[in-house]
Every structure is written in structure tokens, then in C-alpha cells.
Amino acid sequence: MAKKTIREAINEALRLEMARDPAVVVIGEDVAGGAGLDGEEDAFGGVMGVTKGLYGAFGAPRVIDTPISETAIMGMAAGAAATGLRPVAELMFCDFMGVCFDQILNQAAKFRYMFGGKARTPLVVRNMYGGGLGAAAQHSQCLYGMFTAVPGIKVVVPCNAYDAKGLLIQAIRDDDPVIFFEHKAMYDVADEVPDEAYTIPFGEANIVREGGDVTIVALGRMVRVAAKAAEQLAADGIEAEVIDLRTTSPLDEETIIESVEETGRLVIVDEANPRCSIAADVAALVAGQAFERLEAPIRQVTAPHTPVPFSPELERLYLPDAGRVAQAAREIAG
């Protein structure tokens, strides 16, 4: 089995599904690139090169470059999904949901319910989230919480190449709208990824590390932060169980609760701002359903209630790190 980066894993997932199903199309700005210009075709292959080569393999009718019109992109994808295609639309940065949220919030998410169960909307929206690249306040947010809040939407936040491929293939074959979050600073992270197609079911969290002293729930890039913290804690003789949510909607409540019932202690690590976040959501779940077994306050390690700062020094302070996670765990696992 070959090592592949998250970039390669996602590209491979798209390739396999486009080859398997003619209804799968990729839509977005510069998903190929070079349209209407004198240089190369497929000049970008997505701003991060994730869709590179798909244009050559499947051509313009399946890899669709668009004007800078996210509302039209998302709505076109939603309308196409409701009428027979399986579009994978690229939003580029999740921050741009601000200009096109209606087509997800009020359209794609609600078709099935509003239309009395008669609609199917197999739409996938790929987007980039997260800090670490100095992209500042409008290109670094973690907005998966807002999508998780919307009934009718599924939300995926993979943390490695293996999961990214399996979850994306699942998302494309899924009959509901799925928002797929990719961390912009993780595309080059590589691990073992099979060449063939495989799916990872939604709503099944991954226990990255077993431990009986404290449960650390994390998602996306924060899973690696949590794992690093767990190592530091192990050195102090504290065994942390690290849970990667993989999907926030559906949420694997069972795995979280079972773990906390064992450890009695919970730390949640979320790169997002704290208010109405996934961190708060998981804390509330446990405070409601595992209270009797809880032996300490639930700690959330998140970004502060501020926009993402530009300066690298400030951004480093803004982002949760292993030290803060370990510290939070020590405070309650004492």
C-alpha cells in the first residue's frame, strides 16, 4: 500500500467516482483553470491543485469551471443534484459560505423535508477551513459548526488521507447533501492509502488512541494536536483516549459517551471559536447523557472569541496546541 497525501487521496477519490458514475461532476472556480486564456489547460486544478488532472481525464462537461459566482455555483449544484446529477461543488474557502449560504441552508438542506420526502439531493460541497497559513480573518475560519446546526445537512471533517478518501467516496455516494471540510494546512500530510475505492460510514468516530484516564474528543487538524497531547500526558502517567469525530453530523454519540463513562473525564479540542461550537455541542451531550459517570468539569480547548489574526505570532497563540490540551487534561485528570 502506497503512502499518499491528503491532496492525492482526495484527487483519487474524485477520479474513481467520476469513472464509476457518469452523474458525478466537479464544479467550481478554476477546478481546471485556464478557460478562455492562451496558456495551458487545467492550469490550476483547484487553487491547491487537488482536482488537477481531472479535466484531462474527463473533459469540460464533467469538470466545470465557473465565474466567481458562489451562489450560482452552489445553487446550480443543488438543482443538478435534485434532478439527477451527483455534483461535487468546490467552495474553495469555507469562509465564502457567507455569499452563498442560502442555497445550502434554505434550499439543499430542506428540499427533502419541505417536499414531503420526494427529493434526493446527492450534493457534495468541498471546502477549505482552518488557520496556520497566515490567511487572516476571511480565509481561515472553521465554520463546520454552522453547517452542523442545519437539519438536512451532513458534515464531514477528515483528519488524514485514508479517512479523506473513504469519507469523500461515501459522501459522493450518499443521497443527502454533504459539506466536506479539508484543512488548508494539511494537504501534504501523507499516510497509507489503498488504490481501490472504499467507503467509511458516517457517524462512526475513530478511536485514535485508547486510554482510561481522560477522553479527548477532537476533529480535523486538532486530532493530531490531541494525539500529541496524549503522548505528553502518557509521559506523566496519564492515559488519554483520543476520539476523532470524523463527522459532526451525524455525530457518533455512543462512542463519545461510552468513552467518558470509562474515563469520567472529558476534554474537547476544536480549532473553531468557542460559542455554539462543536466543542460546546459535545460538552452538552455529555453533560446530559453521561453526567452520572462524570468526575470532573468538562474542558474545552478552542480558539478564542476573536477573528483569526494575520501575524504568525498571533495566529500561533490563537490556535489550540498540544500544550494547552495536555494542561487542560492534567487539570481535570489530577
Ligand X SMILES: Cc1ncc(C[n+]2csc(CCOP(=O)(O)OP(=O)(O)O)c2C)c(N)n1
Give me the active site residues, please: 139
Q: What does the angle CA 106 – CA 107 – CA 112 come to, to the nearest 5 degrees?
A: 110
CB of 42 to another protein, least distance (A): 9
Q: Which residues in 55-74 contact its own copies (CB under 8 A)?
A: 71
Residue 291 interacts with, from ligand X, another protein, its own copies, none (CB under 5-8 Å by kind): its own copies
Options 228, 307, 327, 330; binder of another protein; rule CB under 8 A: 307
Give the C-alpha separation, 238 to 155, whole Å: 32
Residue 57 interacts with, from its own copies, ligand X, another protein, none (CB under 5-8 Å by kind): none
Residue number with CB closer to another protein (6 or 100): 100
Options 109, 135, 179, 269; binder of its own copies; rule CB under 8 A: 109
Give the C-alpha separation, 123 to 59, whole Å: 20
Q: Which residues in 36-55 contact another protein (CB under 8 A)?
A: 36-40, 43-44, 47
Q: Which listed range, 17-25, 150-158, 183-191, 209-217, lies at the site for its own copies (CB under 8 A)?
A: 150-158
Binding residue count for another protein, defined by CB under 8 A: 86
Give the C-alpha separation, 219 to 270, whole Å: 7
Q: Compute how many other C-beta atoms are within 10 angstroms of the C-beta atom of residue 37.
A: 9
Q: State yes or no: residue 97 binds its own copies (CB under 8 A).
A: yes
Q: Which positions touch its own copies (CB under 8 A)?
A: 71, 95-99, 101-106, 109-110, 113-114, 136-138, 145-146, 148-152, 249, 251, 272-273, 275-281, 283-289, 291-292, 294, 296-300, 304-307, 309
